[in-house]
Amino acid sequence: MDLSPLRTPGGFRVLFAVRLVSLLGGGYRMVALPLQVYALTGSSVLVASVSVVNGLSSFTGTLVGGPLADRVDRRRLVLAGAVAEAVVVSLFAANTVLPGGARLEPIYLGAAVSGCVGTTGLIAQQSMVPALVGAARLPAAGALFALTAQVGAVATPALGGLVVAAFGVGAGFAGTAVIALVAIAASLFLPRARPDRGGGPGGGIGRALGGALFAVRDPVVRPLMVLGFSQALLAMPLVLIPEFTDTVLGAGPREAGLLYAAPAAGAIAASLTSGWTGRVPRPGAVVCAAVGLCGAAAACLGLSRSVPLALTALLLLGCGQALEEILRYALVQSRTPDELRGRVSGVWLAQATVGGSLGVSLMGALAGLLGPAAALVAAGSVCTAVVAATAVAEPGLRGLREDGGRPGEHDGKPFPDSSE
């Protein structure tokens, strides 16, 4: 794995530390809030409603955070996200010791604030990376971010469950508030990061839509967004794991747990061996291959009739997800002008959020119509077909080796040296 971004002066190490601390807090909330709400209400519907509030506010954050990140100092937005995290988890901790017991209203309020302001801070983090590491190290920075996300998805919920079991929900939230204070302190050491031209001309709706218009019009960013949306919509099979394990594999909870963990394990392996991604001569073709691998792996999962084969398919799915995310992130960021990076990062997060949410609904509907195995085969096959059609229809992505980061720049190199 290429660790050079962590050795680069300029603040990436600080930003990476802020991200790590944020993952610890988010992983604990992922476990503690559902457990707390279910203990209070005994209702899975109300547990889901907290996730819905957080998801809707996160989507709002993509709409608000992008334009903000292109107008103000991005360091301030990262700091605001860290402060919001500290305030929210402190509210959750205080809610556990209210006279008469915890209430749902502070939980909904905290989920809304955390979703909106936290997403704004995440957009600012992503927008800062190119200036901190240089375009040549963007794949390595993307790999480090992908690795921390996957490790966080595996380790922090397990750690959160242990904390709740040993000390209780309230003590865990209090400890998370202390961790959030560390993130605030680290954010103060980030360099100033104002956009190049203050967000560009225009205002109002035009300013807010600037990132979407750029993403639609650019011959490289457009197909990259389409591929990412297609993968999130059609090759995210985890929602079907319980039914698939029971009705197709004839297995139980232990095997289901292994299947849930397999994509993260594959993604971690791909991230740890990702040093080559910054040197590929045709990164556009590799992105297409990685998303195609995701679709093929989902289809192979549907065809699997044994746990080892299903685990293999999900490991390959995780590898493909990590590789496409690393290279798509690097290509989108290197392609995007600095004054648009906040809004384009907002589009990036929005397509992943919307695609993932629609994908869960789509897979559930297909499973109801066709059964889980046929649903996986159908969705994975369509994903692979979309990749093939995109590769044929988008010459800008196919010819990326010749075109480079932007038309006429970088001497045909997709990831130019930072000195350029």
DSSP string, 178-218: HHHHHHHHHHTTSPP---TTTT-S--HHHHHTHHHHHHHH-
pLDDT at residue 405 is higher than 90: no
Cα separation, 241 vs 255, in Å, equals 10
Please report where in the chains the tokens 């204070």 appear, as a residue.
181
Q: Residue 368's pLDDT is what?
A: 87
pLDDT at residue 207 is higher than 60: no
Cα angle: 224, vertex 225, 229; to 5 degrees: 120
266-290 per-position pLDDT tens digit? 988 998 888 888 888 888 889 999 9
Domains defined for the chain, CATH in brackets: 4-195 (1.20.1250.20), 207-412 (1.20.1250.20)
pLDDT at residue 201 is higher than 60: no
216 pLDDT band, cuts 50/70/90, is: confident
Query: How confident is the prediction for the chain on average, in pLDDT?
Result: 83
Task: Give the rounded percent of residues in the chain with a pLDDT score beyond 70.
Answer: 90
Q: Residue 315's pLDDT is what?
A: 94
Nearest one of 367, 386, 234 to 299, comparing CA atoms: 234
pLDDT at residue 364 is higher than 60: yes
60-82 per-position pLDDT tens digit? 888 888 888 888 888 899 999 88
Q: Residue 311's pLDDT is what?
A: 93
Q: Residue 175's pLDDT is what?
A: 87
Q: Residues 201-229: what's their mean pLDDT? A: 76
CB burial class (10 A; 0-12, 13-18, 19+) of residue 97? exposed
Cα separation, 163 vs 175, in Å, equals 10
Which of 23-32, 173-182, 365-374, 390-399 has the lowest average pLDDT?
A: 23-32
pLDDT at residue 46 is higher than 70: yes
Structure tokens of 110?
């905290």
Q: Residue 290's pLDDT is what?
A: 94
229-262 per-position pLDDT tens digit? 999 889 988 778 888 888 899 988 778 878 888 8
101 pLDDT band, cuts 50/70/90, is: confident
pLDDT at residue 372 is higher than 80: yes
Q: Residue 412's pLDDT is what?
A: 41
146-165 per-position pLDDT tens digit? 888 777 766 776 677 778 77
210 pLDDT band, cuts 50/70/90, is: confident
Say if CB 270 and CB 263 are below 8 A apart.
no
Which of 78-82, 329-333, 397-401 has the lowest average pLDDT?
A: 397-401
Q: Residue 252's pLDDT is what?
A: 82
- Residues near 165 by beta carbon (within 8 Å), at least 6 away in sequence: none
Q: Residue 25's pLDDT is what?
A: 76
Q: Residue 415's pLDDT is what?
A: 53
Return contacts of 403-406, CB within 8 angstroms, 24+ apart.
403/220, 405/135, 405/334, 405/335, 406/335
Say if CB 77 and CB 121 are below 8 A apart.
yes
